[in-house]
Amino acid sequence: MSDHPRFSIIAPVFNEEGNLPELYRRIKETMDATGEPWELVLVNDGSRDRSAEIMHELHAADARVKIIEFAKNFGHQLAVTAGLDYARGDAVVIIDADLQDPPSLILDMIEKWKEGFEVVYAVRAQRKGETWFKEFTAKLFYRIIYRITDIDIPLDTGDFRLIDRRAVDTLTTMRERNRFIRGMTSWIGFRQTGVEYVREERFAGETHYPFRKMFKFALDAITGFSYLPLQFAMYAGFAIAGLSAVAALAVIYARLFLASQAFFGQATTLVAVLFLGGIQLITLGIIGEYLGRIYDEVKHRPLYVVREARGFDEG
Ligand code: UDP
Ligand code: MG
């Protein structure tokens, strides 16, 4: 068909019934202003509220709204992945469904894209209505990731970004299971730039990222892009071996020349054993984090399961 979309907007949806109509309204307003054909790809990540119904209503009213329905909740990053797999636009924009990412910023991104940038990410200049805890952990997270990973992931950016078709085609070949999409888009290279924005409060509903999920997400990011935790055992080993060599000399000296009663007690032995036991368990745990992810890869399951996809076959 001739109306091959120039732009695809992908929004992952998990229990966003209160946001979908407004999201559609604002995307439509913004994208119609470009005067080019566009599509909105809504990925229903196993919502348990009325999101699916509303998505079907939007699709029935406007064929530019396309739907991917997951068989269950697979998580935000996999919903975005499915969107990237199905989207057909020359430029693809990933946006949250809760309107924390202002759709109007897409126009600025498109401008940069037309200047020749293949990835335009949105940088959070300010966050509104977020608890100090979320803000603090998010800031800390981005800075830790930045320091310990091998790639330059821009600070304070989420998944809200525009990606050129060429970069999307590269991204969709990367089928790793534990995904950190903003890291993956940095890794592929291409010409990248950022535009600043103020992150709004959620339009409706609550965050689906409790601390537990954020922690798993942080681990995915770190294990996906850094070997530093694995090297921890070696560094700890050198440090402890060095210290014990010094300690051994000190003990010999004390016993020979000071005739002291130092280092006779059980407590000393116990503390040393427990300390080393602790270090060993931590190291095992770190190896476990990587091993579990390797096991996930080896199983080769599909990344997500689609129950139904609507609106993609006309083209
Ligand atoms: N989301 C999803 N699956 C999930 C959790 C979240 O598709 O399991 C979507 C959610 O609907 C929203 C986006 O991912 O569009 C970001 O989630 P949220 O707003 O809860 O995260 P926060 O902005 O608080 O970090
Ligand atoms: Mg949000």
Query: Are 39 and 121 members of one domain?
Result: yes
Domain containing residue 182: CATH number:
3.90.550.10
Q: Give the number of the atom of ligand 1 that is nearest the alpha carbon of residue 206.
A: 20
Structure tokens belonging to residue 217: 């997400």
Q: Give 199 Cα–ligand 2 centroid separation in angstroms.
A: 9
Query: Are 90 and 30 members of one domain?
Result: yes
Question: Under the phi-then-psi rule, with left for phi > 0, alpha for psi from -120 to 50, and beta for the rest, what region is 263?
Answer: left
Query: Are 170 and 188 members of one domain?
Result: yes
Residue of 15, 20, 76, 303 with the most ligand 1 atoms within 8 Å of its CB, for mutation: 76
122 has pLDDT over 90: yes
Find out whether the beta carbon of 208 lies less than 6 Å from any atom of ligand 1: yes
Query: Are 42 and 120 members of one domain?
Result: yes
The domain tally of the chain equals 2
In a domain, 2, yes or no: no
Q: Give the number of the atom of ligand 1 that is nearest the alpha carbon of residue 97.
A: 15
CB-CB contact of 89 with 176 (8 Å): no
Find out whether the beta carbon of 79 lies less than 6 Å from any atom of ligand 1: yes
Q: Which domain holds residue 235?
A: 228-298
Query: Are 188 and 239 members of one domain?
Result: no
CB-CB contact of 84 with 129 (8 Å): no
Q: How far apart are CA 125 and CA 148, in angstroms?
A: 23
In a domain, 56, yes or no: yes
Q: How far apart are CA 103 and CA 93, in angstroms?
A: 10
Q: How far apart are CA 295 and CA 276, in angstroms?
A: 28
Q: Give 13 Cα–ligand 2 centroid separation in angstroms.
A: 10
What is the overall mean pLDDT for the chain?
90
Query: Are 142 and 189 members of one domain?
Result: yes
Reported as a single tens digit per residue, the pLDDT across 14-42 is 999 999 999 999 999 999 999 999 999 99
Query: Are 88 and 233 members of one domain?
Result: no
Count the alpha carbons within 13 Å of 159 in the hemisphere toward its beta carbon. 22
Query: Are 111 and 182 members of one domain?
Result: yes
Quickly state the pLDDT bin for 1 (edges 50, 70, 90): very low
Residue of 51, 74, 98 with the most ligand 1 atoms within 8 Å of its CB, for mutation: 98
Query: Are 253 and 173 members of one domain?
Result: no
Q: Give 126 Cα–ligand 2 centroid separation in angstroms.
A: 14
In a domain, 287, yes or no: yes
Rounded to the nearest angstrom, the gap between the alpha carbon of residue 35 and the centroid of all alpha carbons in its chain is 32
Reported as a single tens digit per residue, the pLDDT across 156-179 is 888 999 999 999 999 999 999 989
In a domain, 129, yes or no: yes
Q: Whose CA is nearest to atom 23 of ligand 1?
A: 207
Q: How far apart are CA 216 and CA 272, in angstroms?
A: 32
Which parts of the chain fold into alpha helices (H)? 20-32, 51-61, 76-86, 105-114, 132-148, 165-171, 181-187, 211-225, 228-253, 266-299
Cα dihedral sign, 194-196-201-203:
negative
Q: How far apart are CA 167 and CA 91, in angstroms?
A: 9
In a domain, 150, yes or no: yes
Structure tokens belonging to residue 292: 């579990």
Share of the chain above pLDDT 70, in %: 97
Nearest ligand to the CA of 55 is: 1
Query: Are 172 and 151 members of one domain?
Result: yes
Q: What pLDDT score does 19 carry?
A: 94
- Could you give the C-alpha distances from 312 to 8, 39, 110, 141, in angstroms and in order? 12, 10, 23, 37
Q: Give 289 Cα–ligand 1 centroid separation in angstroms.
A: 24
Reported as a single tens digit per residue, the pLDDT across 53-95 is 999 999 999 999 999 999 999 999 999 999 999 999 999 999 9
In a domain, 306, yes or no: yes
In a domain, 186, yes or no: yes
In a domain, 1, yes or no: no
Find out whether the beta carbon of 162 lies less than 6 Å from any atom of ligand 1: no
Residue type at 159?
A: D
Query: Are 180 and 135 members of one domain?
Result: yes
Query: Are 162 and 274 members of one domain?
Result: no
Q: Give 15 Cα–ligand 1 centroid separation in angstroms.
A: 9
303 has pLDDT over 50: yes
- Supply the pTM of this predicted model: 0.85
